[in-house]
């Protein structure tokens, strides 16, 4: 009788644990489903924000390109006169240095008195 009673308790204990595990398994499944849904929401939000950032970056890149093109045109406009001035200075350089030397001598003579 003691052996049968013990066997019955073991079966009952096993059955209770089995039901508890079954309940826990269903809870875990529900939580997993909720977790996956939350992950998908976060992923969608992240993708949406990433797309917004990409669009903003594309706009900024377009603005930078237009500003670069405008600046490049302005540099080209300024480059021609500067180049002409440099060529003129190179051609007049010996004369300018000679004039500055003579003026320097005259200046020194004038203030030596």
Task: Report pLDDT digits (tens) over 47-71.
Answer: 999 999 999 999 999 999 999 999 9
Residue 110's pLDDT band, with cuts at 50, 70 and 90, is: low
Asked if pLDDT for residue 88 goes beyond 70, the answer is yes
- 3-state SS assignment for residue 30: helix
| Confidence (pTM) | 0.48
Q: Does 38 or 75 have the greater pLDDT score? A: 38
Rounded CA-CA distance 86/94 in Å is 14
């Amino acid at each position: 009788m003691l052996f049968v009673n013990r066997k019955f308790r073991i079966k009952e204990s096993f059955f209770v644990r089995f039901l508890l595990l079954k309940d826990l398994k269903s809870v875990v499944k529900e939580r997993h489903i909720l977790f996956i849904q939350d992950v998908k929401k976060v992923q969608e939000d992240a993708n949406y924000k990433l797309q917004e950032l990409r669009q903003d970056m594309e706009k900024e890149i377009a603005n930078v390109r237009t500003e670069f093109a405008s600046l490049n045109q302005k540099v080209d406009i300024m480059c021609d006169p500067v180049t002409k001035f440099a060529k003129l200075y190179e051609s007049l350089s010996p004369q300018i240095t000679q004039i500055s030397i003579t003026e320097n001598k005259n200046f020194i003579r004038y203030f030596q008195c």
